[in-house]
Structures are given as structure tokens and as C-alpha cells.
């Protein structure tokens, strides 16, 4: 299985998908989501789960920053900015709802773009092919997704891009 994204050019995410973009939620979270495509999913795949995370955020926040959580994606591509309009998959709460950013859980249950405060950060997009749909509700947390996927992962793919201050 493989995941690709046209949002990454020369190893970096384009400006529009983060703090140098032009689309933000009312409380300032970058909200113009990245597109991606999944190919080569294994036989028996019923849905995909997606995690976009920034491990380099530990240097500024003290924890891995979750930028986007998706569950029950049943198609192999997500279009640019689709986090704002899609109704056929469930989105979980990103770290913009953490104690540091304090956004409302509803506002943060979508794509929350890149905004590194201190240096170049690496952003990893993980896609999991699952043999089932997951019993999760909108606004689910990363740990809920993690434990719901256990025993159901058929394959995993990932890509990485950077975003600078």
C-alpha cells in the first residue's frame, strides 16, 4: 500500500496548508486541508484510518501534535480542503483542542494545519487499511482511534513533508 500527496513539493508541504495559508477557523486554526491518495490497498480493506502528526512539536509543546484524525474513510482519495465539507468519513479532535490551544472540540474535529513555532518540523501522514469500520463518534481522540484499530490493521503507509516557521 502507498500514500501520496500533491500537497508536498520538494519534500515540503505547500504554504497554503498551514499558518502561511489564507483559510482559518474563527479562532485562528489553519483549516485548508491537504489532499492525498491511497493505492495498493490489500484485499479485504473495509475502511481507512488516517493520522497526520508532528513529532517535532515535542520541542515546543511537550507532546506529539495531532493535526488530523480520520476514521471510516471508504474511498482512496481525499481532495484538497475536503476536511471542511466531507460527510462520508468521521474526523477526530486534533491537538488544537489541547490545553495549549484550547479550541472548542467541535472546531478542532477537522484538519488543523501546520504552524510550527520554533523551527522546521516534519509532518507524517499515516494511513491504515482496516478490515472493518470503527465504532467511533465525531470528535474522537487519538487514543480511541489507536485502540479501536488494534487487531484490524491490514496494512500501513506513510509519507512525510516539512513545514518551516
As a whole number, the mean pLDDT across the chain is 96
Domain ranges of the chain: 2-163
| pLDDT value at residue 102 | 83
Q: What is the pLDDT of residue 136?
A: 98
pLDDT of residue 100: 80
Give pLDDT, residue 44: 98
**DSSP letter for each residue of 17-44:** GBTTSS-B-TTS-B--PPPEEEE-PPTT
Of 5-19, 36-50, 87-101, the one with minimum mean pLDDT is: 87-101
- Mean predicted confidence (pLDDT) in 5-27: 97
In the structure grid, which three cell numbers stand for residue 147, read together? Answer: 485502540
The secondary structure of residue 111, as a DSSP letter, is: -
Q: Classify domain 2-163 by CATH number.
A: 3.90.280.10
Amino acid at each position: 500500500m502507498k500514500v501520496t500527496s500533491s500537497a508536498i513539493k520538494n519534500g515540503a508541504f505547500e504554504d497554503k496548508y498551514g499558518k502561511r495559508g489564507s483559510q482559518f477557523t474563527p479562532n485562528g486554526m489553519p483549516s485548508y486541508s491537504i489532499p492525498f491518495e491511497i493505492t495498493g490497498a490489500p484485499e479485504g480493506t473495509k475502511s481507512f484510518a488516517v493520522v497526520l502528526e508532528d513529532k517535532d512539536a515535542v520541542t515546543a509543546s511537550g507532546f506529539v501534535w495531532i493535526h488530523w484524525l480520520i476514521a471510516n474513510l471508504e474511498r482512496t482519495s481525499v481532495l484538497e480542503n475536503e476536511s471542511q465539507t466531507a460527510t462520508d468519513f468521521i474526523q477526530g479532535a486534533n491537538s488544537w483542542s489541547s490545553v495549549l490551544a484550547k479550541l472548542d472540540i467541535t472546531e478542532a474535529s477537522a484538519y488543523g494545519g501546520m504552524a510550527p513555532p520554533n523551527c522546521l518540523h516534519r509532518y507524517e501522514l499515516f494511513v491504515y487499511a482496516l478490515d472493518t469500520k470503527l465504532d467511533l463518534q465525531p470528535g474522537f481522540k487519538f487514543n480511541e482511534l489507536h485502540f479501536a484499530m488494534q487487531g484490524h490493521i491490514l496494512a500501513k503507509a506513510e509519507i512525510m513533508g516539512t513545514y518551516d516557521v
